[in-house]
Structure 1
Amino acid sequence: MHARQHSAADPDVTGVVLAGGRSSRFGDADANKAVASFGGRTLLGRVVDALADATDRSPVVAVRTAAQRETCAAALSDRCVAFARDDAGFDGPLAGVFGAADAVDAPWLFCCGCDMPLLSPAVVRWLVDTLRDRGDASDAPPAALAVRHPDGTPEPLHALYRTSAVERVRNRLPSSAGPRALLGSLEPVVTVPVDAAPAGLPVEESTTNVNTRAELAAASPPPATR
């Protein structure tokens, strides 16, 4: 893992890993996708390592149940992480986003799923740097910053959120709202096209999530960098 060159001007970001899903498409009823193995590490371990590398802060893992926390804690026993409990007022990923917002003191959250095996610290750092540069050029920081795919859609679960902005819209969203509804409720949102990334950054790979064992098997672990 490469040490990051930290600047006092960098936004203060905590990485949030959403691990409260039911893994319903991944296997039998007892399967927990977060701890599936990929390239010698668990999916959760890979994501936690990437966020710790990119942000210089201990990541927060958001879980729905005590059993999930126990399973995740065992898988991360050699890593420094904190846990947050999903907000019971919401279903799906937003429960983890709002639960994490309650648990952290950082002004920015980078939210992603536990099922993103190719999450790249370099891509996360690029987004943080883009946020910093945006702040340098404007008096008003955005409420969120997200990657924009070639088809024009933003990626809400590989994105930076201003914690205070997330808190302000909590009561405006229905319990069934998804991540795109959260992103759509914030203003202003900056979206960065994939092709704006420096050459060689694996942005599309970094934003890829896996829902089934077949998708996990089809993914290729990146070369070791340690």
Structure 2
Amino acid sequence: MGGHRLEELTGVVLAGGQARRMGHVNKALMTVGGAAVIDRILDRLSETCAHVMVIANDPAPYTERGVPIFPDAMPGHGALGGLHSALLNAPTPNVFVCGCDMPFISPPLIRALAARIGTQDAAVPRDGYGLQPLHAVYARRIAPLVPPFLVRGELRLERFITGLDAAILPPQETATYAAEAEIFFNVNTPDDLEQAREKARPL
């Protein structure tokens, strides 16, 4: 997973959400492979992206991690609202966005997406389950396109992406970058947490 850091890419962790299925426990701080999930993510982003930051309305759990933290510009709008804040605050032309509960994000796939976006609005992988908008690269310049969706309450990232000029990596191509078979795995429930702990390699 080595290689230089991508100077035109900011890696962003969206650390919002209510974690209802996890009993309202902060999923980012749960331990997988001997480290908090967010630390696993930040470690991989730091080796891949020139800049790294966190979007969180409560910065307290993340202040000691040495990365900038920004709140939602329009709170209460889920992951799409988090993406909006990421695009507004990123210092680079392109932004990689992932969830705070994804312990197996893939630097090789991040690099492939960053290489693919070119002049398009986004580069989004698709697997057998569909689009994976929380392991995707977005152009910072599309930030003004987000608020109308938020105002209308259209909060599904997939719906937003359908209106973009997006490069979609098909499942067969996405799979070639999946050094770990579970790169899109997210920890939503206690059962998911146990599965992640079984799959994880220690940092």
Does TM-score exceed 0.5, indicating one fold? yes
Percent identity of paired positions between Structure 1 and Structure 2? 27
Please name the residue that 1:214 is paired with: 191
Q: Matches of residues 91-102 of structure 1 in structure 2 within 5 Å?
A: 91-102=77-88
> Residue 169 of structure 1 aligns to which amino acid in structure 2?
L
Question: Are the structure 2 counterparts of residues 178 and 200 from structure 1 closer, same or farther at C-alpha, using a change threshold of 3 Å?
Answer: closer
Per-residue CA deviation, residues 138-195 of structure 1 (Å, 9 max, x unaligned), is xxx11000101135x2211111100102x13123312341211221221x11101232
What's the TM-score, normalizing by structure 1? 0.79
Please name the residue that 1:69 is paired with: 59
Please name the residue that 2:20 is paired with: 24
Distance 1:156 1:198 in 2: 16
CA contact (8 A) 1:169 1:185 kept: no
Q: Matches of residues 163-174 of structure 1 in structure 2 within 5 Å?
A: 163-165=140-142, 167-173=143-149, 174=152
Question: Are the structure 2 counterparts of residues 203 and 221 from structure 1 closer, same or farther at C-alpha, using a change threshold of 3 Å?
Answer: closer
Q: Which moves more between the two structures, 46-55 or 110-119? A: 46-55
What's the TM-score, normalizing by structure 2? 0.87
> Residue 191 of structure 1 aligns to which amino acid in structure 2?
I
Q: Matches of residues 57-206 of structure 1 in structure 2 within 5 Å?
A: 57=51, 59-64=52-57, 68-74=58-64, 76=65, 80-88=66-74, 90-131=76-117, 135=118, 141-151=119-129, 153-165=130-142, 167-173=143-149, 174-186=152-164, 188-197=165-174, 199=176, 201-202=178-179, 204-206=181-183
Q: Any gaps of 5 or more consecutive residues in structure 2?
A: none
- SS of match in other structure, 1:17: strand
CA contact (8 A) 2:48 2:107 kept: yes
Displacement after TM superposition at 1:94 (Å): 1.3
Task: Output the aligned Cα RMSD.
Answer: 2.2
Q: Any gaps of 5 or more consecutive residues in structure 1?
A: 136-140
Q: Which moves more between the two structures, 118-127 or 37-46? A: 118-127
Q: Which moves more between the two structures, 176-185 or 196-205? A: 196-205
Question: Are the structure 2 counterparts of residues 61 and 200 from structure 1 closer, same or farther at C-alpha, using a change threshold of 3 Å?
Answer: closer
> Residue 5 of structure 1 aligns to which amino acid in structure 2?
H
Say whether 1:223 aligns with 2:201: yes
> Residue 103 of structure 1 aligns to which amino acid in structure 2?
N
Displacement after TM superposition at 1:198 (Å): 7.3
Q: If you compute each CA radius of gyration, which structure gives the higher value, 1 or 2?
A: 1
CA contact (8 A) 1:112 1:158 kept: yes
CA contact (8 A) 1:35 1:72 kept: no
Distance 1:198 1:180 in 2: 20
CA contact (8 A) 1:19 1:63 kept: yes
The alignment covers a number of residue pairs equal to 200
Displacement after TM superposition at 1:20 (Å): 1.1
Per-residue CA deviation, residues 87-106 of structure 1 (Å, 9 max, x unaligned), is 22551111211112221221
